[in-house]
Amino acid sequence: MTSPVKTKLGDETLSRVVEFARANHSAQLIVMQAGETIVNASFDPAPVDVFAVQKGLLSILIGIAEEKYLLEPCDAINHHLEPEWTNLSPWTEASLTIERLMAMTTGMDDELNELGTVGESWRYDNTAYHYLKKILSLHTGMTLNELSAEWLFGPLGMNETRWMDRSRLLPDGSKVSGLASTAFDLAKIGQLVLNNGKHKGTRIVPGHYLNQMTAPGSKQNPAWGYCWWNNNQPHHRQPYSEHKIIEGAILPQAPSDLVAARGLLENGLYIVPGLELVVARTARPNPSKERRERFEQPFWELLLDNP
């Protein structure tokens, strides 16, 4: 859809979204338009776990690794990891590629057993995804934090972002990692994507990769690309309810050119090229597990004045 708003968002609209964010468990909210920060609201300044927003950032690291000739998205995983890292048959395992792990068409369950068809069945495979981090570290001889600091955090000035170990283990015994960040830092990733992979005139990630990253990654879930969501598809599926086809875009209230990295508690990073808009929102932790009202959809209704 085409947004009815003017090019510049008004002060009254921005005041409403800040108050909405404040009242709905937000830690921080950043809104940038045409390179200018027009909202910088920090209700809790500490970095927080942004959950699956990390996938969007890791996908960008994969694009940088491609530019460095360390790998290609079409590479078979078994060219990078020892065979039998899954419980699939050898010939099925051999068909797994980096892009299929990012597109979530692994044909596996969380224990890396067969579930569906590799390259076709879309399932939010949060286990196989983490092996992409291992591949990056193997190729560079650096930890995930070290290579992220050298390739991305340092060049963009993301001083409050770091990878951290979680208690969960992968089938190979290695720890799953989360990403702690702030809306201010995430907005720098958004601006990088909006600027087609350049930061202050310097190429950080290839433009052609960004196009692949946000394009449909499968027929079953065309709204999901390489760990990023797009808003221009007629139907989509959501994580952990993959059997259900949902008609319409992921955010019908927002412009169709929106792309996003989205996580639990509705942490999110959103880019709308047609409005030169970047939005980053982090959520306060939820230790009490209290029920929360939806944030994403009403936020975009308020921001675009589109009830």
- Taking the model in full, what pTM does it have? 0.95
Identify the band that residue 7 occupies on the pLDDT scale cut at 50, 70 and 90: low
Identify the band that residue 4 occupies on the pLDDT scale cut at 50, 70 and 90: very low
Q: How many other β-carbons are positioned within 10 Å of the β-carbon of residue 59? A: 24
What pLDDT does 293 receive?
Answer: 78
Percent of the chain scored above 90 by pLDDT? 93
259 domain-assigned: yes
pLDDT at 5 over 50: no
3 domain-assigned: no
Signed CA dihedral, 102, 106, 108, 113: sign only: negative
pLDDT at 161 over 80: yes
Identify the band that residue 286 occupies on the pLDDT scale cut at 50, 70 and 90: confident
6 domain-assigned: no
200 domain-assigned: yes
Instruction: Give me the long-range contacts of 271-274 (CB less than 8 A, separation at least 24).
Output: 271/190, 271/193, 271/194, 272/3, 273/194, 274/3
Percent of the chain scored above 70 by pLDDT? 95
1 domain-assigned: no
**Could you tell me the CATH number of the domain that includes residue 264?**
3.40.710.10
| Nearby residues of 3 by Cβ (< 8 Å), 6 or more positions away | 254, 255, 272, 274, 275, 304, 306
2 domain-assigned: no
Taking residues 212-219, report their average pLDDT. Answer: 98
280 domain-assigned: yes
What pLDDT does 8 receive?
Answer: 77
**What would the pLDDT profile of 138-157 be if each residue is shown by its tens digit?**
999 999 999 999 999 999 99
Higher per-residue pLDDT: 93 or 289: 93
Q: Domain range holding 170?
A: 11-303
Q: Per the structure, how many domains does the chain have?
A: 1
**What would the pLDDT profile of 65-95 be if each residue is shown by its tens digit?**
999 999 999 999 999 999 999 999 999 999 9
Identify the band that residue 64 occupies on the pLDDT scale cut at 50, 70 and 90: very high
